[in-house]
Amino acid sequence: MSAPALMIIASLLFALMGVCVKLASAHYAAGEIVLYRGLVGALTIALLTRWHGGTLRTVVPAMHFWRSLTGVCALCLWFYAIGHLPLATAMTLNYMSSVWMALFLIGGAIALGGSRVDARLVCTVLAGFAGVACVLQPAIERDQLRGGLAGLLSGVLAAMAYLQVTALGRAGEPEYRVVFYFSLGGVAAGALTTPLTGGLHAHDLHGLVLLVSIGVLATAAQLMMTRAYGTGRTLVNASLQYLGIAWSFLFGVLWFDDPVTALSLAGMALIVAAGIAAARLRRSANPADPASSTIES
């Protein structure tokens, strides 16, 4: 399956996971959800690896450590921002990761001196973020500066984590191994934060189904996303990732009666258009080599 197709499906699965998280939040604290999400993911990957005769042993443990550290820190900061900002604002700040990624790639290309960034792909990332802003319509009040800074930093760290995923793919690490170590990082983060967010709560069937669904959906989406970032062009993946907002907006309208506005619909159209344009640019830029240089993407 091509990298753009993987990103489209991954964005859908992440949106479905978001629905489950929203429902589970009525029963569990954020730290617990992070803990169980990571636990289900790690166990699922371990079982699948054993079933297929693979191995979780890695020759680049330091790369996994830094990827997990930045990814988990980004996740924790995002939860902090959600707790101190309107949800739309926190999500928008976190989705700035693609804009930061584009800036990192431009800076890297300038520093190396031998590679260049496709300006058209940078434009698709910026257009996608403009669509996110239209859908979410963010705003920060004066007393929310700390949460806003946490949200911005979560986006910066998420961009670093995505670039590290790409580096791990280039180093030959299979996506299941990358997701496994990130899931372990989530278990550790959840175990540390759960006592700060109310401790563990009792389970019922409904709650267990939601927690397992969150873990399974997140694991499947992460596997697809990791494969896409390891084989595709970074900025194309970044643009297609914005489709998660469109899916979430649709599910919010269908399941949670979220309001529909003309500006939101225009933002969705811009997000989809940016994703399609990025996929077309990827095919036309280098059809013979889908796994082209990250710096060039």
pLDDT tens digits for 168-196?
Answer: 888 888 878 888 898 899 898 888 888 88
CA dist 84 and 219 (Å) reads: 27
More reliable by pLDDT, 206 or 103: 206
pLDDT at 9: 94
CA dist 32 and 93 (Å) reads: 23
Would the pLDDT of 289 be above 50?
no
CA dist 169 and 140 (Å) reads: 37
pLDDT bin (cut points 50, 70, 90) of residue 291 is very low
pTM of the model: 0.73
Element (H, E) at 159: helix 145-170
Please state the domain extents for the chain: 3-285
Would the pLDDT of 102 be above 90?
no
